[in-house]
Amino acid sequence: MSGLLTKVLINYPYLVAVLLFTIGTFTVLTHPNLFKKLLGINIMESAIFLMFVASGNIRGGVAPIRGTTNAEAVYINPLPSALMLTGIVVSVSVTAFALALIMRLYKAYGTTDLRRIAARRKEVISDDHLDQG
């Protein structure tokens, strides 16, 4: 048991990633507020980024730049970090697009709460002037 515990403690970045992922998914699926849903998505994606970046890290390793360190230095793996740079860009564009949609929904319904939107859907659906705007 203590062996498992030390393993978990040594690999704590992964544990944090799992925790964050759970928190994010839970928020996305349970909160009726659109902003909270978006925050949940961001937390969830951060968890995945953390997992990737942690996988490239080596304790005591140095940045893989040739010629600046001694020969015995252990290099960390830069590839996961580079991949996550792309991941962050994707995540930012998703967030921007979702915010634009939230703005449009707020203009139409006057609320960012999914339950209230569902209640007001009947009033707004015939409102065709919004279609022109």
Q: Kindly state whether residue 52 participates in binding another protein, applying the rule CB under 8 A.
A: yes
Q: Compare residues 15 and 130 and give the one whose CB is closer to another protein.
A: 130
Helices (H), 31-57: 34-56
Residues 48, 17 contacting (CB under 8 angstroms): yes
Beta strands in the chain (DSSP E): none
CA 109 remoteness from chain centre: 27
Q: Compare residues 26 and 69 and give the one whose CB is closer to another protein.
A: 26
Two structure tokens written together for 19: 């925790």
Among positions 72-111, residues that touch another protein (CB under 8 A) are 80, 83, 86-87, 90, 93-94, 97-98, 101-102, 104-105, 108-109
Q: Kindly state whether residue 60 participates in binding another protein, applying the rule CB under 8 A.
A: no
Q: Kindly state whether residue 132 participates in binding another protein, applying the rule CB under 8 A.
A: yes
Q: Contact with another protein (CB under 8 A): which of 13, 16, 23, 25? A: 25
Q: In 10 A of CB 60, how many CB atoms?
A: 7
H or E, element range at 57: none
Q: Kindly state whether residue 13 participates in binding another protein, applying the rule CB under 8 A.
A: no
Q: Compare residues 71 and 124 and give the one whose CB is closer to another protein.
A: 124
